[in-house]
Amino acid sequence: MGASSLPAPAPSAPAAPPAAALRQAPTGPRGDALLPWLLPAALLGLWFLGAAQGWISPQVLPPPQFVWETLRDLATSGELWLHVSASLQRVLVGFAVGALLGLALGSAMGLSRTAEAYLLPSFNALVQIPVLGWLPFVLLLVGIGEPLKYILIAKAALVPVALNTLQGFRQTPQNLREVGQVYGYSRRQQVLEIVLPHAVPTLFTGLRLGFTKAWLSLVVVELVASSEGLGYLIVYGRQLFQLDQVMAAVIVVGAIGYAIDRGLDWAERRVASGRPGATR
């Protein structure tokens, strides 16, 4: 039989739809924005319900109305802003010093294998000691004043910043380094144009973790040795058994920490969007 009598090929089946078309439509922007607030709203509702039904004694967990009134009184009297300003000053100074030292130490270890071999083992050993473990030693050196708080807060911020800086500098692909060598880049050009752009996301992660550690250490230090600040406000309320004041101070601590963390996250996304090859 000739080639001309062969039957015509069957039409090809239509291509399968892409997997993305089979998935359900993603949640809209409004739904995504509301998701993180579901759990806090549920806990707040449970708090209201427990207080109204008498499930929890007011001496153990005061009703939300009492906490709100106490928070309003502290704000209108100006006492709250006095404690907030003292805490913010301490955490910002301590975090700035710790972050700068962490960036310098992490950069030295990330750019020099020799520096890493000398410094990293001792650094890893020292960071295992918690902030309160350093308190008696630093207390003997500088006393109970503001330098004590700055040093302990800086130590808490230094650790994650240094470790993430080291990791960020070491994660640059080796082929990019070789390309820089082929084009005759100097050491400084390799660091600024190849290594640093790839390390930016990890550096910001270290800064966010460093601030979180600094903020937590601030409250701990003020709980132990302070006459003003949010940590002192918590201790003072506990000593007087004014748990509404304790809860109000805890809410302020959480709100300020969350706001600053969101600010660092916004700055990280802005810097990352300006990097070469970043999708906008």
Q: Would you tell me how many other CB atoms lie within 10 Å of the CB of residue 33? A: 10
Q: Looking at beta carbons, which pairs linking 36-45 to residues 24 or more positions away fall under 8 Å?
A: none
CA–CA gap between residue 53 and residue 51 (Å, rounded): 6
Q: Looking at beta carbons, which pairs linking 200-203 to residues 24 or more positions away fall under 8 Å?
A: 200/168, 200/271, 200/272, 200/275, 201/168, 201/268, 201/272, 202/164, 202/165, 202/167, 202/168, 202/171, 203/103, 203/164, 203/165, 203/168
CA–CA gap between residue 148 and residue 218 (Å, rounded): 11
pLDDT of residue 25: 44
* Range in 56-60, 100-104, 214-218 with the lowest mean pLDDT: 56-60
Start-to-end C-alpha separation, the chain: 61
pLDDT of residue 20: 44
Tell me: pLDDT of 280 over 60. Answer: no
Q: What is the pLDDT of residues 259-273, one digit of tens each?
A: 888 888 888 787 767
Of residues 277 and 77, which shows the higher confidence score?
Answer: 77
pLDDT of residue 12: 47
Tell me: pLDDT of 57 over 60. Answer: yes
Q: What angle do CA 108, 128, 230 make, to 5 degrees?
A: 100
pLDDT of residue 157: 92
What is the reported pTM? 0.75
What is the mean pLDDT of the segment spanning 94-108? Answer: 92
pLDDT of residue 1: 45
Burial class (CB in 10 A: 0-12, 13-18, 19+), 208: buried
Cβ–Cβ under 8 Å, residues 191 and 200: no
Tell me: pLDDT of 2 over 50. Answer: no
Query: For the chain, what is the radius of gyration of the CA atoms?
Result: 28
Q: What is the pLDDT of residues 12-52, one digit of tens each?
A: 444 444 444 444 444 555 657 777 778 878 888 888 787 77
CA–CA gap between residue 233 and residue 236 (Å, rounded): 5
* Range in 101-105, 122-126, 181-185, 229-233 with the lowest mean pLDDT: 181-185
Question: What is the phi-psi region of residue 15: left when phi exceeds 0, alpha when psi lies from -120 to 50, beta otherwise?
Answer: beta
Across the chain, which distance is largest between two alpha carbons, in Å?
Answer: 105
Residue 158 pLDDT level (bands cut at 50, 70, 90)? very high
Q: What is the pLDDT of residues 164-216, one digit of tens each?
A: 998 888 887 777 766 666 667 776 777 777 777 777 888 888 888 899 889 98
Cβ–Cβ under 8 Å, residues 143 and 132: no
What is the mean pLDDT of the segment spanning 71-86? Answer: 90
Q: What is the pLDDT of residues 223-273, one digit of tens each?
A: 777 778 888 888 888 888 888 889 899 999 989 988 888 888 888 787 767
HSE of 9, CA atoms in CB hemisphere, 13 A: 3
